[in-house]
Structure 1
Amino acid sequence: MRDLLAGKVVVLTGVTGFIGEQILWKMLTELPDTTPALLVRRKGSTPARDRVVALLKKKIFSELREAAGGAEALLDARIRVIEGDLPNVPDLPADLDVVLHCAGDVSFDPPIDQAFRTNTIGTRALMEKMLAAVTGPDGERTRIPHYVHISTAYTAGRRRGAIREAAHEHDVDPQAETERGLAMLELIEAQSRTAEQLTRLRKEAEREHRQAGYLTTAADTERRRREWVQRKLVEAGTERARSLGWTDVYTFTKALGEKVVAEVGKDIRVSIVRPAIVESSWKHPYPGWIEGFKMAEPLILAYGKGQLPEFPASPDSVVDIVPCDFVVNAIVAVCATEPEVGQPVYYHSSSGARNPLNFRDLYSHVREYFLQHPFEGGPRGAARLPEWDFPGAASVERLLFTSERAASVAHRAISLAPRSKRIRTLAQGLDRTTKELTFLRRYLSLYNEYGQSELHFVDDNTLALHRSLHPDDVEAFAFDSAAYDWRTYLQDVHCPSITEPVRRMDSVRRRRGQRPRTYKELGGEPDGARVLAAFDLDGTVMASNVVETYLWARLPELGPLARAREVGDVARRLPMWLRAERRDRGTFLRSVYRRYAGADLAQLEQFVDTTMASWILERVSPDAVRRLREHRAAGHTTVLITGAIRPLTRPLEPLFDVVVASDLATDDSGRCTGFLTGPPMVGESRAAWLRHYAALNDIDLSRSHAYADSHVDLPMLSVVGNPVVVSPDVALMRAANAQQWSIVEWRASAQLPRWSLPRRR
């Protein structure tokens, strides 16, 4: 092999991918006289060369790097870097001998336009640049290159039986399908912007985010529109592929890519390698080497965590797994061949022909591994491993559908339940279940047909190539898929390799416990007044709400009969107020504050100062007070920002540098009119106030803190660098989990029951 490829320049795409990375390692390790020229795209502001240097700093290249004196020295000595991308391919070197195309969209469900750009347009562009590189000014070829194309065995589509190492017979026109596939982007984008579609998406966003404000709702509407476009592009690709006989748009566009290769490469040497399911290495660079999660890993890990109750596979169907190093060795060996010009040669890199593994055996090996090496569980111990009966795809679909319906009903129930720690716990459990169901739906949809495949990949060409290896090459370049047994590979090599990083991360999480992510320790030296800490009042600093505080202020001055009437009238209006709060918290607050009409503002303030102050302070959370004092000690500006009326905040003024509250409007005699002097400070107005205050006072919001309990406070929390969610409602809890914000439980003072009233002195 070393002699056959000596002096050759091999242009390699996809080097930052799983297979491409090991191909580069193999060339640098075993082919000292071969020059890899890497086509690598710039990523943001990072040039291609820097990306290759970062690649060479990985563990796989450690010995090569040390021998060369560093990553950059290794690059300079052995590698050429060509900065470019697919399909925008730059000029390729004129002295190229082999073009090895490993790049490609390997997701099974990419958007249809993306799949065509990568797998057909990109392939054509690369080959045309290759031909241009070896064509002189007179139009004559200076050399005949060897183009090696890495495809997939599943380009066979929904066929059954033996699949030969040959071109697949079909009459689909790659150019026409590519043009129409790209046109789907414009069509679906236009559909997403129709009034009907935008109305539906906006109403969905409003149901979830109406309280937080119009801008939050608008941002979520646009997010939903973009996600809808992506989802429809994926659906379009899947359905078009299946309508023509392929399982998904990935295998469909890879099959069309093969047809492009045969068309463009009719006057050169062409080889097409079709790997099956590529997993971790058997031997090189070390047993179990793998980069990222491939096809089987998510399913194996989910099973080990008890999250995969069944799988819609036929127990006797072959799951055609092949170790990565066998694929890489076969590809390098193909690069060393010289096929006839205009006669493409196909190779299947697979295991099913001579070392078959069916789904029942795969399940048995994986189950045995996790029984012996379970994931460490939480308080309840290791996860219970499901026992698969392989009931068939229809039964699994019914089970999944029923579970999804039950979860949907539970979500609606929780959304209507009153806030409590128990409801939050139930919601967290339901969210985990929903995440698992979403995972199952996605992967069962993707792999359903693969799990029932009846394909048999013939590998005669590949076996013959393996048998032609020079004896000196067998140790380094062998790729006979009959050389290993599945129990050893799965239980001693593959499963330990893919579970090790998961176990390590789980261990780190357990050591850290539930350490907050945005709840910062404030000990040490003060860090200056350029930082503020904003606190919501009701539900955050103290356990209260505006209806309760109104009754606390109103009822003590009434006799028993008048109290009963007042409580009854408030209870009668409560459902209307709750509906108003779900629509707009500002409207809700205005409705409640109308009941202050006729109250003497000065007397209300005196009553708060003389009677309610100690009673209010008794209800302030000790955890909130402790945190406020920490912020003060750190030199931070403390801000109370609330929709409550200002008289009720008077006892709290010593704790804060700034108090932003609702002011009751009064007439000439000092009596409340039932209106406010301005809009209540809720939702997005809090975020706007913080931005304005920060600009006027040179406050760094990226270093600042905010504490709140309600989804309506999402804009305020989003504007600071250290948002903390306090005993939240379910909607805010979910937003905090999605954005990795800290969630803390601040206990309320328990010295007075909530139904007790202050007594007038």
Structure 2
Amino acid sequence: MRLTDALDGRRVLVTGVTGFIGEALLRTLLVEVPGVRPVVLVRPKAGQPAADRVARLLRRRTFAPAVEAAGGAEALAARVEVIEGDLSDVPALPRDLDVVVHCAGEVSFAPPIQEAFAANVVGTQHLLDRVVEAGAPGPGRGDRGPVHYVHVSTAYVSGRRRGPVPEAPVEHTVDWRVELAAAQRLAVRVEEDSRTPDVLARLNAEAQALHGRAGPLTVAADAERRRREWVLAEQREAGRQRGHSLGWTDVYTFTKALGERVVEEAGATLPVSVVRPSIVESALEHPYPGWIEGFKMAEPLIMAYGRGELPEVPAAPDATIDVVPVDHVVNALVAVCATTPEPGSPQYFHVSSGARNPLTFRRLYELVREHFLAHPFDTGEPSGPLPTWEFPGAARVERRLALGEGLHRSAEKVLTYVPRSERVRGWSRDLDRLGTRLRTLRQYSDLYLPYTQSELHFVDDATLALHRSLDPADVPALGFDTAVVDWTHYMRDVHVPSVTKPVRKQDELRRLRAKRGPAGVRRALVPAAPDAPPTDVLAVFDLDGTLLTANVVETYLWTRLPGLGGVRAAREVASLAGRLPSMLMAERRDRSDFLRQVYRRYRGADVALLDRLADEALAPALLERASDAALRRVAEHRAAGHRTVLLTGAVEQLARPLAPFFDEVVTARLAVDADGRATGHLTAPPLVGEGRAAWVVRYAEVHGFDLSRSYAYADSHSDLPLLRAVGLPTAVSPDVPLLRAARGAGWPVEVWAARTTLPRRLRTARGGRP
């Protein structure tokens, strides 16, 4: 009998239709078996009702033939009954269902342990409870009998076994109820442990080391981010280790196996079929060659290899990577829906390829390499040759990876003590790329090693028998014999081109952006009309390191040394040099403390003389030292009608020469005694880190400026809160931590070059004794 006849008029409910296999199954039912009356269980999302999500799904290219046959998208949507609900709280199901196909579930290899159990065990239990209710005798059920429940699992529920794996229940004695309760308790305990003093102290210390200069709130936010990441990592690791301890590859296969136990218990009274695909990849033919939604198991490896980021893989060259096209999986599901298993006798089907048409890792490597040799990625950056895999074994790959990770950690420590420069920023970018590569390799090694070392094959006798029972007329569109797959054609000519196509488009867009300048290029400033009213836009500039390629210690010496004379000037330099290491340590901890230590050295200085030096010698010298690019940018903002603000922790004498360029100047001010000499203290705390951001926010509130349209320019990681306070930040000649933050946020990064030698006017300036 044709499948179209066997399923004609039958009510088939499908879960997970917004996922890869579920979408493909719904498409096949609508296109190839038009007599089916489909029902879908879909949860609402972000304020979008389930019906709207399904309507949007049906407008995809995959459903185009069904839309055309139905006479339009709205007519097709009318054919699909939508039940709004979630596996955590499954609503009552229609009483006239014939088949339920459960495609939904957690498919990530490393989710938090409680999430894996919630999706693959608890969700399955909730759905089965409703299936039993829907199929119970009573009004609305007629003579249909119980609902046929079809469970989509994975072939890898067999765990870390070797040799043939039969189409039968997995042999184990694990109690899913005990494991579920333990997983839920463990997840709560990890959350509680994250709040213990020891863990919080360590995370806070890490955040302080990176963000201490920015301020305590920035440190607190980063510490909390680290705590949440720690919880997630610990819950994931708990699932991985529990799966390993019981013989499974990861928490995914562990919980899928326990989900099967839930199904088998319900199978005592229900007709049950369990379908176990292996590694599901893009379509061989339907809905079109290469169709795939998202990245599955093999794609990250393929992408990393094509980019030259995967020098080796911990796989045995003769091990089988058991791949199956998604259209074979859904065709098998359709055929299974047409069967009538007896309650109490669950049937099992492996949809796999390794038993009769194996693809080895070495052959996969050869085919992927052939593709990239003919069609290399063009990232716009220099790249080396494609890696040559020698398959040295997992132990050697692990040793190489561990060595690389150790060298990277050492380089990171060294980088924190190197003075900033364009060369150092280049080293940082190279080190970041290396770090990303190492993290990727570590992730692949941890997640994929059990699969790459696989020495098993999945027996598919029942699946092959089901395929051979098809009417010959059904085979072209609904066949699922994986022995017909030509791996050379599929991998090299269909799958790899399909999964790399989106990445190649991204690379093309990246190259186009590169021609226009680096990521995060600032928007052009348009001069305002002469009679235009003032805008509500601020442009805030830092001084040291941004407008000037100088630091606080250097500018202190500019103002202090000219009037000391040779011997006393030398003593001051020597004294400062002796204190410099401790001052720099203070600067790493708290920039306010560092500035106070520097300004304490003004104690006893004649402030009037400092003012005169600033006006007579320092003003022209600072203009010599100021960046032309910086001053042009300030002028552009003023021309555009923006209010320009110089916001600095430097003392007012250092900022006064640049005051004519700005509408507002905010500086530190030296406290003065009755004799007009500096006390070594300030009149108010210096504006640094979060203090600058708070000042800008308050200033905008009082004067009516729109921070979302405003600009800020700064060079130091301590200015991260300031840059985050505006909508248009720019990192200028940044230190390494700020460079990384800017790159992560997509902010513009500019280098405003200026003279770096001591201006001649300051070298020759003379004055009285400050």
Query: Shorter-normalised TM-score: what interval?
Result: over 0.9
CA distance in 2: counterparts of 1:752 and 1:17, whole angstroms: 64
Q: In 1, are the aligned partners of 2:137 and 2:145 still within 8 Å (CA)?
A: no
Report what 1:88 is aligned to. Answer: 89
Question: C-alpha displacement at 1:749, in angstroms?
Answer: 4.2
When residues 598 and 73 of structure 1 are mapped into structure 2, their CA distance, relative to the original with a 3 A threshold, is: farther
Q: In 2, are the aligned partners of 1:278 and 1:321 still within 8 Å (CA)?
A: yes
CA distance in 2: counterparts of 1:755 and 1:445, whole angstroms: 62
Report what 1:611 is aligned to. Answer: 617
- Secondary structure of the corresponding residue to residue 578 of structure 1: helix
Report what 1:62 is aligned to. Answer: 64
CA distance in 2: counterparts of 1:61 and 1:654, whole angstroms: 66
When residues 453 and 83 of structure 1 are mapped into structure 2, their CA distance, relative to the original with a 3 A threshold, is: same
Report what 1:641 is aligned to. Answer: 647
Report what 1:250 is aligned to. Answer: 252
Report what 1:107 is aligned to. Answer: 108
Aligned with residue 745 of structure 1, among 741, 751, 758: 751
Question: C-alpha displacement at 1:54, in angstroms?
Answer: 2.2
| Per-residue deviation, residues 204-257 of structure 1 (Å, max 9, x unmatched) | 111111111111111111111111111111111111111111111100000000
Report sequence identity in percent: 56
What are the residue-to-residue correspondences of 1:579-598 with 2, within 5 Å?
579-598=585-604
Question: C-alpha displacement at 1:613, in angstroms?
Answer: 0.8
CA distance in 2: counterparts of 1:754 and 1:97, whole angstroms: 91
Task: Please state if 1:517 is matched with 2:523.
Answer: no
Stretches of structure 1 lacking an aligned partner (at least 5 in a row): none
**Which 10-residue stretch deviates more, 503-512 or 594-603?**
594-603
CA distance in 1: counterparts of 2:194 and 2:71, whole angstroms: 55
What are the residue-to-residue correspondences of 1:189-268 with 2, within 5 Å?
189-268=191-270
Q: In 2, are the aligned partners of 1:611 and 1:760 still within 8 Å (CA)?
A: no
Question: C-alpha displacement at 1:558, in angstroms?
Answer: 2.4
| Per-residue deviation, residues 59-108 of structure 1 (Å, max 9, x unmatched) | 222343455565444312x1111111112111212221111110110011
When residues 64 and 624 of structure 1 are mapped into structure 2, their CA distance, relative to the original with a 3 A threshold, is: farther
Question: C-alpha displacement at 1:438, in angstroms?
Answer: 0.4
Q: In 2, are the aligned partners of 1:611 and 1:758 still within 8 Å (CA)?
A: no
Question: C-alpha displacement at 1:516, in angstroms?
Answer: 3.6
CA distance in 1: counterparts of 2:719 and 2:733, whole angstroms: 13
Aligned with residue 671 of structure 2, among 665, 668, 690: 665
CA distance in 2: counterparts of 1:345 and 1:754, whole angstroms: 90
CA distance in 2: counterparts of 1:121 and 1:177, whole angstroms: 12
CA distance in 2: counterparts of 1:56 and 1:640, whole angstroms: 56
CA distance in 1: counterparts of 2:277 and 2:534, whole angstroms: 60
When residues 301 and 720 of structure 1 are mapped into structure 2, their CA distance, relative to the original with a 3 A threshold, is: same
1:494 partner letter: H
Q: In 1, are the aligned partners of 2:624 and 2:759 still within 8 Å (CA)?
A: no
Q: In 2, are the aligned partners of 1:365 and 1:487 still within 8 Å (CA)?
A: yes
Q: In 2, are the aligned partners of 1:277 and 1:295 still within 8 Å (CA)?
A: yes
Task: Please state if 1:736 is matched with 2:737.
Answer: no
- Secondary structure of the corresponding residue to residue 676 of structure 2: coil
2:737 partner letter: A
Report what 1:25 is aligned to. Answer: 27
Report what 2:344 is aligned to. Answer: 342
1:433 partner letter: L
1:615 partner letter: A
CA distance in 1: counterparts of 2:384 and 2:36, whole angstroms: 50
CA distance in 2: counterparts of 1:436 and 1:338, whole angstroms: 51
When residues 284 and 724 of structure 1 are mapped into structure 2, their CA distance, relative to the original with a 3 A threshold, is: same
2:631 partner letter: V
**Which 10-residue stretch deviates more, 400-409 or 50-59?**
50-59
Q: In 1, are the aligned partners of 2:7 and 2:35 still within 8 Å (CA)?
A: yes
When residues 56 and 515 of structure 1 are mapped into structure 2, their CA distance, relative to the original with a 3 A threshold, is: farther
2:675 partner letter: S
CA distance in 2: counterparts of 1:442 and 1:750, whole angstroms: 44
Q: In 2, are the aligned partners of 1:262 and 1:344 still within 8 Å (CA)?
A: yes
CA distance in 2: counterparts of 1:289 and 1:516, whole angstroms: 31
CA distance in 1: counterparts of 2:324 and 2:569, whole angstroms: 79
Stretches of structure 2 lacking an aligned partner (at least 5 in a row): none
What are the residue-to-residue correspondences of 1:54-203 with 2, within 5 Å?
54-65=56-67, 68=70, 70-76=72-78, 78-135=79-136, 143-203=145-205
When residues 751 and 626 of structure 1 are mapped into structure 2, their CA distance, relative to the original with a 3 A threshold, is: farther
CA distance in 2: counterparts of 1:465 and 1:315, whole angstroms: 32
2:277 partner letter: P
Report what 1:407 is aligned to. Answer: 408
When residues 189 and 377 of structure 1 are mapped into structure 2, their CA distance, relative to the original with a 3 A threshold, is: closer
Aligned with residue 324 of structure 1, among 298, 323, 326: 326
What are the residue-to-residue correspondences of 1:534-683 with 2, within 5 Å?
534-683=540-689
| Per-residue deviation, residues 376-397 of structure 1 (Å, max 9, x unmatched) | 25453x5311111111111100
Report what 2:387 is aligned to. Answer: 386
Report what 1:725 is aligned to. Answer: 731
Q: In 2, are the aligned partners of 1:615 and 1:758 still within 8 Å (CA)?
A: no
CA distance in 2: counterparts of 1:627 and 1:67, whole angstroms: 61
What are the residue-to-residue correspondences of 1:427-466 with 2, within 5 Å?
427-466=428-467
Q: In 1, are the aligned partners of 2:542 and 2:647 still within 8 Å (CA)?
A: yes
CA distance in 1: counterparts of 2:498 and 2:234, whole angstroms: 36
CA distance in 1: counterparts of 2:759 and 2:504, whole angstroms: 46
Question: C-alpha displacement at 1:732, in angstroms?
Answer: 0.8
CA distance in 2: counterparts of 1:65 and 1:759, whole angstroms: 84
Task: Please state if 1:484 is matched with 2:518.
Answer: no
Q: In 2, are the aligned partners of 1:612 and 1:758 still within 8 Å (CA)?
A: no
Q: In 1, are the aligned partners of 2:95 and 2:140 still within 8 Å (CA)?
A: no
When residues 457 and 442 of structure 1 are mapped into structure 2, their CA distance, relative to the original with a 3 A threshold, is: same
2:182 partner letter: R
| Per-residue deviation, residues 378-434 of structure 1 (Å, max 9, x unmatched) | 453x53111111111111000000010011111001111111111110011011001
Report what 2:420 is aligned to. Answer: 419
Question: C-alpha displacement at 1:581, in angstroms?
Answer: 0.4
CA distance in 2: counterparts of 1:607 and 1:744, whole angstroms: 32
CA distance in 2: counterparts of 1:749 and 1:607, whole angstroms: 21
When residues 596 and 68 of structure 1 are mapped into structure 2, their CA distance, relative to the original with a 3 A threshold, is: farther
Q: In 2, are the aligned partners of 1:355 and 1:482 still within 8 Å (CA)?
A: yes
| Per-residue deviation, residues 665-702 of structure 1 (Å, max 9, x unmatched) | 11123221110011100011011111111111222212
CA distance in 2: counterparts of 1:594 and 1:751, whole angstroms: 26
When residues 756 and 498 of structure 1 are mapped into structure 2, their CA distance, relative to the original with a 3 A threshold, is: farther
Question: C-alpha displacement at 1:112, in angstroms?
Answer: 0.6
- Secondary structure of the corresponding residue to residue 667 of structure 2: strand
When residues 68 and 677 of structure 1 are mapped into structure 2, their CA distance, relative to the original with a 3 A threshold, is: farther
| Per-residue deviation, residues 600-655 of structure 1 (Å, max 9, x unmatched) | 22332222122211111122212212222222222222111110011211121122
When residues 501 and 271 of structure 1 are mapped into structure 2, their CA distance, relative to the original with a 3 A threshold, is: same
**Which 10-residue stretch deviates more, 261-270 or 396-405?**
261-270
When residues 701 and 65 of structure 1 are mapped into structure 2, their CA distance, relative to the original with a 3 A threshold, is: farther
When residues 285 and 525 of structure 1 are mapped into structure 2, their CA distance, relative to the original with a 3 A threshold, is: farther
Question: C-alpha displacement at 1:528, in angstroms?
Answer: 5.6
Task: Please state if 1:702 is matched with 2:708.
Answer: yes
Report what 1:685 is aligned to. Answer: 691
- Secondary structure of the corresponding residue to residue 724 of structure 1: strand
Q: In 2, are the aligned partners of 1:580 and 1:588 still within 8 Å (CA)?
A: yes
Report what 2:44 is aligned to. Answer: 42
